[in-house]
Amino acid sequence: MSETPSDLEPGTPLIRLEEVHKTYRIGKTEVRAVRGVTMEVRLGEVLCIQGASGAGKSTLLHVAGSLDTPTKGRVFYAGEDVYAMSEYRRTGLRCRKLGFVFQFYHLLPELTVLENVVLPSLSTWAGLHRYRATRERAESLLRTVGLGDRLLHRPMELSGGEQQRAALARALINDPDVVLADEPTGNLDSRTGEVVLDLLFRLVQERRRTLVLVTHNREVAERCDRNLVLQDGRLA
Ligand SMILES: Nc1ncnc2c1ncn2[C@@H]1O[C@H](COP(=O)(O)OP(=O)(O)O)[C@@H](O)[C@H]1O
Ligand SMILES: [Mg+2]
pLDDT of residue 119: 94
57-71, 87-101, 117-131, 185-199: which has the minimum mean pLDDT?
Answer: 117-131
Per cent of the chain over pLDDT 70 is 97
Nearest to 6 by CA among 64, 78, 89, 82: 78
User: Which atom number of ligand 1 is nearest to the Cα of residue 25?
Assistant: 4
Per-residue pLDDT at 218: 86
Please give the pLDDT value at position 2.
53
Residues within 6 Å of ligand 1 by CB: 24, 26, 31, 33, 51, 53-59
Instruction: Mention every residue, 6+ apart, whose C-beta is less than 8 A from residue 87.
Output: none
User: Could you tell me the CA-to-CA distances from 25 to 21, 28, 33, 65, 230 in Å, in that order?
Assistant: 13, 7, 10, 21, 21
Q: Is the pLDDT higher at 197 or at 216?
A: 197
Q: Whose CA is nearest to atom 18 of ligand 1?
A: 58
Residue 129 confidence (pLDDT): 83
- pLDDT at position 130 is 86
CA distance 61 to 4: 20
What are the residues facing 211 on neighbouring strands? 46, 179
For every residue of 64-96, DSSP letters joined together read HTTSS--SEEEEEETTEEGGGS-HHHHHHHHHH
- What is the per-residue pLDDT across 2-59, written as a single tens digit (0 to 9) for each? 555 667 788 889 999 999 999 999 999 999 999 999 999 999 999 999 999 999 999 9
Q: Which of 6-10, 57-61, 94-98, 121-125 has the highest mean pLDDT?
A: 57-61
Which pLDDT score, from 0 to 100, does residue 29 have?
A: 94
Residue 222 has φ and ψ, to the nearest 5°, of -65, -20
Give, as one character, the DSSP assignment of residue 151: T
Q: What is the pTM of this model?
A: 0.94
Mean pLDDT within 156-176:
96
Mean pLDDT for 204-221 is 91
Domains and CATH numbers, the chain: 44-68+86-235 (3.40.50.300)
Closest ligand 1 atom to residue 182 Cα is 21
Neighbours of 233 (CB within 10 A): 23
Nearest to residue 113, comparing CAs of 79, 157, 81, 58?
157
C-alpha 33 to ligand 1 mean position (Å) = 6
Q: What is the mean pLDDT of residues 155-169?
A: 96
Rounded CA separation 67/53 (Å) = 20
Q: Which of 176, 168, 154, 12 is nearest to 92 (CA)?
A: 176
Cα separation values, 151 from 136, 140, 177, Å: 11, 11, 25
Ligand 1, closest atom to CA 62? 17
